[in-house]
Structure 1
Amino acid sequence: MITLSVLLTTFVVVFPVELPDKTLVATLVLTTRYRRPRAVLAGVVLAFAVQVVIAVAFGSALGLLPARVVAGVVALLFAVGAFLLLREGFGAADDDEAEQAAAGREQLPWWRISLTSFGVLFAAEWGDASQLAVAALAASYRNPLSVGLGAWFALALVATIAVVVGTRVAGRLPVQLIQRVAGAVFAVFAVVALVELVRR
């Protein structure tokens, strides 16, 4: 049974935690890279749905996952993403090649962009503060449906904001500049995750 107060409480807790988070930046980067906002949004929202189901289902048990393994995998994923983005950002010889590369990305199949977006966000969300918050709320309220819906609505709204911003930015900035900035951001995420790994 859905309890509106639990749903709204979960939304209010998760939304501000996720708004400045790496998942928003990752969604924005995916939108500027692929320029098929609906495909990116579909993949991201589905990834959030699966993560919410996992968090609600396992509750506080998610906190028992090996923290060092989670931090190591996240660091590796962001490091690889940074390498690929920076290679593309600095690799094009001129504007014509950059425009051709952008056009090639636009022609990727819808399902492939969605699947890539799903994979990136699904991996990035593991061990995230919002996921742990959802697990704790599910354990506290014992109302998994209300907690799950509240969390998913908050995450979907964050993803929508990122896609809208990413769509507007993509049309105004050079592709190479977007790739370089995105690569730098991913590199910072990789370093942060590596620092967390060393501290644990």
Structure 2
Amino acid sequence: MIDVVVVALTFGAIFVVELPDKTFIATLVLSTKFRPLLVWIGVGLAFTVQTLVAVALGHAASFLPQDAVRLLALLMFLAGAVILFREGRSHHVESGDEFAAKADPGTTGLRAVGASFLVLFAAEWGDLSQLLTLTLVARYEDPVSVFVGALGALLAVSGLAVLLGRALLRVVPLHTLHYVGAAVCLLLAGFTAYELVA
């Protein structure tokens, strides 16, 4: 049975962590080269495989002692906050000129889907969102709900990148999105620390 609260928490955490991630930019760039719908399909397939792997590993980790899982989750959330904060601090606002390429109308559907799948599949291994998904499965012991929330967030972020990416980056600087993601990781770390000592 799907727990709507776990789905919502997972969706929110993955969404804000993934929005400023390289995956957003990669999807945006791919959508300038291929038809956006084909990019989204390829990216979605890559996210599905990556999320299944993260959920399976997280489910295996849930058999560890509860305190060990909470400590691991705390460390992962803190590491995520540090990574996102450092990326936000070092990032300069992009002009958007690198996204000015035009789509190639001659590209076949299968080629565009395949290229998008391969780029994102390679980029997501060990990515913060994959590690966060693994951690959330181990923490909540609800692989189905975490899978639904994580995949939903990844598909939403990639959909935003395909449809509104250029406009979004003109309104909200990428470093701001990094800081929001870092704050969410810190909030999750604080909640996990409280559970560990309570």
Structure 1 segment 116-135 matched on structure 2, within 5 A = 116-135=115-134
Q: Which amino acid aligns with 2:130?
A: Q
Query: Normalising by the residue count of structure 2, what TM-score does the alignment of the two structures yield?
Result: 0.61
Query: Could you tell me whether the CA contact under 8 Å between 2:59 and 2:143 is conserved in 1?
Result: no
1:108 is displaced (CA, Å) by 1.0
Distance 2:167 2:5 in 1: 35
Q: Considering only aligned residues, what root-mean-square deviation do their CA atoms show, in Å?
A: 2.4
Distance 1:15 1:29 in 2: 19
3-state SS, counterpart of residue 106 of structure 1: coil
Comparing both structures, which one devotes a greater share of its residues to helix?
Answer: 1
Who is 1:10 aligned against?
10
Distance 1:60 1:14 in 2: 18
Query: Is the counterpart of residue 23 in structure 1 residue 23 in structure 2?
Result: yes
Query: Could you tell me whether the CA contact under 8 Å between 1:60 and 1:132 is conserved in 2?
Result: no
Who is 2:185 aligned against?
none
The number of residues matched between the two structures is: 131
Who is 1:148 aligned against?
147
Q: 1:40 to 1:168 in 2, by over 3 A?
A: farther
Query: Could you tell me whether the CA contact under 8 Å between 2:7 and 2:148 is conserved in 1?
Result: yes
Q: Which amino acid aligns with 2:2?
A: I
1:30 is displaced (CA, Å) by 0.1
Q: Which amino acid aligns with 2:125?
A: W
Deviations 1:85-130 (A, max 9, x none): xxxx9xxxxxxxxx9xx57x22111011001000000111111111
Structure 1 segment 74-89 matched on structure 2, within 5 A = none
Q: Which amino acid aligns with 2:126?
A: G
Q: 1:154 to 1:113 in 2, by over 3 A?
A: same
Q: 1:28 to 1:141 in 2, by over 3 A?
A: same
Query: Is the counterpart of residue 46 in structure 1 residue 45 in structure 2?
Result: yes
1:165 is displaced (CA, Å) by 2.7
Who is 2:156 aligned against?
157
Distance 1:111 1:39 in 2: 8
Query: Could you tell me whether the CA contact under 8 Å between 1:55 and 1:134 is conserved in 2?
Result: yes
1:11 is displaced (CA, Å) by 0.6
1:142 is displaced (CA, Å) by 1.0
| Alignment gaps of 5+ in structure 1 | 64-88, 90-98, 170-200
Q: Structure 1 segments of 4 or more deviating over 3 A?
A: 60-63, 166-169
Q: Which amino acid aligns with 1:29?
A: V
Deviations 1:139-176 (A, max 9, x none): 1111100000000010000000000135879xxxxxxx
Query: Normalising by the residue count of structure 1, what TM-score does the alignment of the two structures yield?
Result: 0.60
Who is 2:81 aligned against?
none
